[in-house]
Structure 1
């Protein structure tokens, strides 16, 4: 095992290496997903397929598959578990869109707009149930504990985010706790279970957990920066969604902390829901740019991505480790 520190590349990273690494296994995962979202109730596969077929980077199941490659796992258990991970993620997206009243997801109408809130919530519940069926079929209590624990943490994080909504006093510490729960917990669990099924030691389990957790935080930081930094065509959702929903993400927290008294009055009104027109969003973007809040958010993301890469240093150098390092680099350099 090596104790080296892995340096981040300077060239523009892509997901190509990890996509190539996991392509064959991902075909098996997609087949399981397609099979398990079927039901004799036609609305269920129609609604689930609306989101699942809508694209997405499949980052979370890819981490399970790439982690299995990294530790030299030779079986097929990771296929069903990666599908379980994707079902957990998809269920949370369906529920989130209802909670947020989202109108678009991945560049098209959100499921709640097409099918209505009740059906969207219930199909989300169906996908959660399917994920637990897949975990139970795997037969490992340890895997079940990791993934079920992550599911509970995600739900707690979403509730915490809801209670922090429209609260201008939300601190950076609380924000990091929220994204650590609602996003990073599943990244960590998806990565860790690869070491569990390969019967690795605690050090390898923890290293993959650390990789996934830090990558998840970096990923969410960039998502939150993009909301104030990128056009709708690139990101596949409406620019300014977080602003209109009164979410206290890091760009806003930093701009508020660095702002003048007049700027702070604007932020208090905006986060409370009194300033939500297009011109208010434009002013918010200008204030965030003025105080370099997007740049600072991306810089924090780079810090967490570097920590994710460093966590992999205990594993031998090779194609799998290089692909996972580049995935972390991509997470912080992306514009969508």
Structure 2
């Protein structure tokens, strides 16, 4: 076929009208599944791509998803957001959408940016990261009726049972439980936990996973408290905290951590102390974890990005088409997997089994 395929070419091969092809591209939910499948097959055969500029002019929409690019506070954990952004951008492109990055100093500044982008029709929907209790951004977006999905749970009443907004998150509790159970299975007798100071919604959730594994082995609440280490998300802070802890508790032979940054600090501390017998696990499976042979929990960020786009656009949609949040339908909780390396023994990915 000479030249680029057109909508007429797709209509001819699928044996439908031009309007039906247009409906499949712009509003697939109104097309019968069997017809939609036939049109999508023709689109795939021809490699047809709708003219994006014309489509935006017709619909008065930008075909753009906005997301704030947060300042990188830690080069190790910062790679997690980079991988998520890459997966989100790639997935959005496949659906005929673009991703627009913007910056803001804080949540209030992010709200201002979103308001400006929305008023100028530069973005149709938004993705939020770093959610927290009583998040100002989500409340404002709900009040304004602006479509959005958060990467991260609301951590409050707006959660599993009666959702007010759409969210995607990784089951950190299941991930830490798998890490601790792996350490126990490889022979560790006393597994400590290194996490961020409480309260920390994400950190506290991950600690519960470690506590689940330890409690199933008979650990009491007082023992769990004695095996808990706290440090800020900083390699040096983690190194100091672990060194001081092992001075008090030389009987500990494994440490499950809430992040690869904390795990790296623990690894430096145990190496300096000559305690290479202490097994360590991280969380995030960053390039640093792979480089130093650190066992770590992989968040499966491609699945997170797919979940975000599905909630924004439907299973196969090419436009923002969010439904009212409904229990069981407004969230995606992604089950992570444990990637086992030298710090935990073995060399294979271990699927996390969620008992929920």
Q: How does the TM-score come out when normalised to structure 1?
A: 0.32
Q: Which has the larger radius of gyration?
A: 2
Q: Which has the larger strand fraction?
A: 2
Q: Which has the larger helix fraction?
A: 1
Q: Higher RCO, 1 or 2 (CA under 8 Å, sep at least 6)?
A: 1
